[in-house]
Amino acid sequence: MDGVNSNLADGSTWRLHHGAQEIARLIVTGTDMPWVHAHLEALPGFDEFRPVFTEQEQAIDAEDRARADACYEQIRSALTMTFPDGRPVAEFMVHIHANGTAGWRWHDEPFEVQSRECATL
């Protein structure tokens, strides 16, 4: 199996980091390209970020794009993601849902975004 496909295989584990600390594991449960879906395994340090993910989900549900984008920027300024093989992901957009699931998409190059403020952080 090639590198991309093995990264998307059910059971593959992507990781979220705050600095050097791994704070969450995202265990792949399926894909609906360009989105990858997973079960969230929260680790110590994740709860600090849970409120911004909650606010992001609420903003998306309310179709408040400016607020959702601001939360995205807060997440990306604080967290990094790695592929299952440990390589860093250049750019990603991750949503963590209250039900313990996650969805994200990634890109090999950073996205360009305008700075906004998320009320949570």
Mean pLDDT by 10 residues, the chain (121 residues): 72 97 97 94 97 96 96 95 95 94 86 53 48
In which element (H, E) is residue 89 found?
none
Question: For position 119, what pLDDT does the model report?
Answer: 55
- CATH number, domain of 72, equals 2.40.10
pTM: predicted TM-score of the whole model, two decimal places: 0.84
Question: For position 6, what pLDDT does the model report?
Answer: 86
Q: What angle do CA 98, 99, 105 make, to 5 degrees?
A: 80
User: Is 85 contained in some domain?
Assistant: yes
Q: What is the number of domains present in the chain?
A: 1
Q: What is the CB neighbour count within 10 angstroms for residue 68?
A: 22
Question: For position 1, what pLDDT does the model report?
Answer: 45
Measured CA to CA, the distance from residue 91 to residue 96 in angstroms comes to 16
State which residues form the domain around 96. 3-107
Measured CA to CA, the distance from residue 79 to residue 92 in angstroms comes to 10
Question: For position 5, what pLDDT does the model report?
Answer: 73
